[in-house]
Amino acid sequence: MKLSSLIYTIMIPAMFSVSCKKFLDVKPKGVIIAETINDYQGLLNSQFVLNSFGLNTPIIFPTDDIMDPTFNLQSQTSPKGNMYFWTAYINNSSVRPDLWADMYSSIANLNVVTEGVLSAIDGTPLQKRQLYAEAMVAKVFNYVHLLSFFSPAYSKSTAGSDYGVPYITSTDVSATVPERLSLQACYDQLIKDVVNAIPDLPEENLNNTRVTKSAAYGMLTRIYMSMGDYVNASKYADLVLGSDKATILNYNNYVGGKLPATNSNAEELWVKYCNNSSFRYSDELLSQYDRANDLRITFLATTKADGIYYGSQTYNPNRGITYAEIYLDKAECLARAGDFNGALDIVNNTIRKNRFTPSKYTPLAATNTETGIKAVLEERRRELAFKGLRWIDMKRLDKDGRMPAVKRVAKDGTTVLATLMPGSLAYTFQIPLMVQSFNADMPLNKR
């Protein structure tokens, strides 16, 4: 089956469809083909790369961060609702598949860069290698989210037999669709891609939506965290936090005003945008906060008649990588290694002190490894709510035996409509029906 069948409904810029000699031997009149450094810069700055999640913000809806009583099982057909109830198929018909199509669209555009930029008609070799490296790391970001939805959580004992997702490097839509590699092979490839890119990445870039060395180290930290490899995660977290750029804002400095915009916020290591939407906190998540004193609620939540909501139309959160994520990664790695005092030092003195007014601040405490891990995970839940990482976290924590059952409750507040049980196969969504219809031999997930 040809590559076009895998992503044939994806909306890709005209630049992509004619960007390589593989598509057209003659440059068509009136069409701009990516040839110059500025052309490739434009691709890296495009909406298809900055927001690879599409319109539905799919990374939020399966998580236990959210509560949405407007969904019900009886009339459920929307992709959002299917994700919310962990239905096997995100799209329950053979239409353009949400998340899958958007992620592979972004990857397709980035493949234009990796296939062509080294042969750009201008620019220095250093510039060309940098843009190539940026595109490689940006592709890895997309693949990590694809794996989180369409592959099982990583387990060293089963990763060799579990399936990953197709790894696409070509812009030739007549090429054969790659097979689903094993999950282990996928992770090995993604790690290799980032490691190989690092030497050509800059320490600083045009803005925080573009890849730097620290962003690449942060990407490796996230990958190793999702694999439960806390030794390597700690190693790369140290490389991020060793930079003088690693910053956590003191929210006290903004009381009476508002937080800096995402693209100018020093806390943001690597910015990725989503559709700017507001989401209702689940009751369980809201119970994790000191609502009266936690400044994260003050700045990031809005009270409405039917509940407390995260986000607003005036704030577009980063759903890429934040320095707070990396600090909490390091804290969790320390706690899991038995250094619960070091872990709580990060949680208390780097995160919590900057999220409470001094008179309302109370440090968290731990007496052993297990209570240390628990304290870190609870703070991670609060700090990273709705930031786009929770589904990845839920999967790895479920594999670790640390995820309770997640329930979807009806408008009456008591009727349970659906439950995601520990160890459930519903933690993995099925390969989309549209993809199946054109790729009959593609192995499916267990559901």
Contact 333, 341 (CB under 8 A): no
Q: How far apart, in Å, are the Cα atoms of 341 and each of 163, 246, 247, 288, 326?
A: 38, 21, 21, 22, 18
Give the H or E element holding residue 213. helix 213-226
Mean pLDDT of 282-308: 94
Report the DSSP beta bridge partners of residue 420: 406
Helix (H, G, I), strand (E, B) or coil at 307: strand
Radius of gyration of the chain (CA): 22
Mean pLDDT of 75-86: 92
**Structure confidence at residue 23 (pLDDT):** 29
Q: How far apart, in Å, are the Cα atoms of 210 and each of 125, 137, 202, 271, 432?
A: 19, 10, 10, 8, 30
Residue 26 has pLDDT above 60, yes or no: no
The tokens for 46 are: 């495009």
Identify the weakest region by mean pLDDT among 13-17, 71-75, 221-225, 268-272. Answer: 13-17
Residue 29 has pLDDT above 50, yes or no: no
The tokens for 325 are: 């994520």
**Structure confidence at residue 39 (pLDDT):** 96
Residue 20 has pLDDT above 60, yes or no: no
Cβ contacts of 167 within 8 Å, gap of 6 or more:
143, 178, 181, 186, 189
**Structure confidence at residue 22 (pLDDT):** 36
Selection from 151, 168, 172 nearest residue 160 by Cα = 151
Mean pLDDT of 4-18: 44
Residue 214 has pLDDT above 90, yes or no: yes
**Structure confidence at residue 171 (pLDDT):** 87
Residue 27 has pLDDT above 60, yes or no: no
Alpha carbon distance 439, 443 (integer Å): 9
Residue 104 has pLDDT above 60, yes or no: yes
Q: Which amino acid is at 26?
A: V
**Structure confidence at residue 177 (pLDDT):** 81
**Structure confidence at residue 30 (pLDDT):** 42
**Structure confidence at residue 316 (pLDDT):** 79
Residue 74 has pLDDT above 90, yes or no: no
Percent of the chain residues topping a pLDDT of 90? 82
Contact 136, 195 (CB under 8 A): no
**Structure confidence at residue 10 (pLDDT):** 42
CA 88 to chain centre: 21
Alpha carbon distance 224, 238 (integer Å): 13
**Structure confidence at residue 360 (pLDDT):** 96
Residue 19 has pLDDT above 70, yes or no: no
Q: How confident is the model at residue 314 (pLDDT cuts 50, 70, 90)?
A: low
The tokens for 258 are: 């508002």
Alpha carbon distance 405, 19 (integer Å): 48
Residue 7 has pLDDT above 60, yes or no: no
pLDDT digits (tens, 9 = 90+) for 115-130: 999 999 999 999 999 9
Is the pLDDT higher at 365 or at 22?
A: 365
Is the pLDDT higher at 11 or at 320?
A: 320
Alpha carbon distance 62, 429 (integer Å): 10
Q: How far apart, in Å, are the Cα atoms of 31 and each of 13, 48, 133, 298, 382?
A: 11, 19, 26, 49, 48
Average pLDDT, the chain: 91
At the second CATH level, the architecture of 3-257+317-438 is Alpha Horseshoe (1.25)
Alpha carbon distance 145, 223 (integer Å): 10
The tokens for 193 are: 């891609």
Alpha carbon distance 10, 62 (integer Å): 23
